[in-house]
A = this chain, B = another copy of it.
């Protein structure tokens, strides 16, 4: 199956797209109370989003919170969505937005859950507990480890902007990941779209590494700013996520197609 980077790159070529669609069923979508019904209705929601948008994406990204908020029926739905993606769209990498980190055998258990049971090609991870905590993820050469580096929320500054050795902490994390944690070449970084200047700095610090970029649109990041600052010299290196902007549209295919095209227009403008 190759590495995550190879699969992602192949899919970017095939689709001509840098768009990732977040499979995030909003909290106000109600799928009933009974476990089996939640499972079936939520799976059907995911199948609809996938069938309408898959042509336009380089990746899908379910955030686990929205499935867990529906309890065991929600997790059962996610299991089915992952099976469906694996059989219908095996060429599209799927990123599990889990933001996990724990230690020792606990971290191993999360890796089993996310990589082996659900089958994600990559997962988002928190660096707060350090490299050894992420070993069960980092050691999986064929999977992607997407490390939370510079997030798009206002409060990100509380820790990430603290000065360490004269630089903001998130820059230290970016360098640590690029120079140490990425020894198998399977790391990516989360860099929010809301701070294009930081995206530019991150690109300078870590070379060609791919960034997962949330926060375009509703959170205020602009496509031109993101692409200008974040693309690598090969015109790639960015996975640009949109969730609600696509999935709450009455015409999801059109919304995804327009977003993918807008990204490519901005790529062309560079």
A265 within 8 A of B: no
Closest to A117 in B: B71
User: Contact at A109–B68, with CB atoms within 8 Å?
Assistant: yes
Q: How far is the CA of A169 from the CA of B168 in the complex (A)?
A: 12
Q: Mark A104-132, 1 if CB is under 8 A from B, else 0.
A: 11111110110001100000001111111
Q: How far is the CA of A169 from the CA of B129 in the complex (A)?
A: 12
A73 within 8 A of B: yes
Q: How far is the CA of A159 from the CA of B109 in the complex (A)?
A: 23
Which residues from 61 to 86 on chain A have a C-beta closer than 8 Å to any C-beta of chain B? 63, 65-66, 68-69, 71-73, 75-76, 79
User: Contact at A65–B109, with CB atoms within 8 Å?
Assistant: yes
Closest to A215 in B: B103
User: Contact at B129–A148, with CB atoms within 8 Å?
Assistant: yes
User: Contact at B105–A27, with CB atoms within 8 Å?
Assistant: yes
Neighbouring B residues of A184 by C-beta, 8 Å: none
A162 within 8 A of B: yes
User: Contact at B101–A129, with CB atoms within 8 Å?
Assistant: no
User: Contact at B126–A128, with CB atoms within 8 Å?
Assistant: yes
Interface range for A: 35 or more
As for how many copies of this chain the complex holds, the number is: 2
Partner among B39, B66, B106, B158 whose Cβ is within 8 Å of the Cβ of A130 = B158
Closest CB of chain B to A146's CB: distance in Å?
14
Q: Mark A5-40, 1 if CB is under 8 A from B, else 0.
A: 000000000000000000010110000000100010
Neighbouring B residues of A75 by C-beta, 8 Å: 68, 71-72, 75
User: Contact at B126–A155, with CB atoms within 8 Å?
Assistant: no
A133 within 8 A of B: yes
A99 within 8 A of B: yes
Closest to A66 in B: B109
User: Contact at A65–B113, with CB atoms within 8 Å?
Assistant: yes
Q: Mark A125-163, 1 if CB is under 8 A from B, else 0.
A: 011111111000000000000001001111111111011
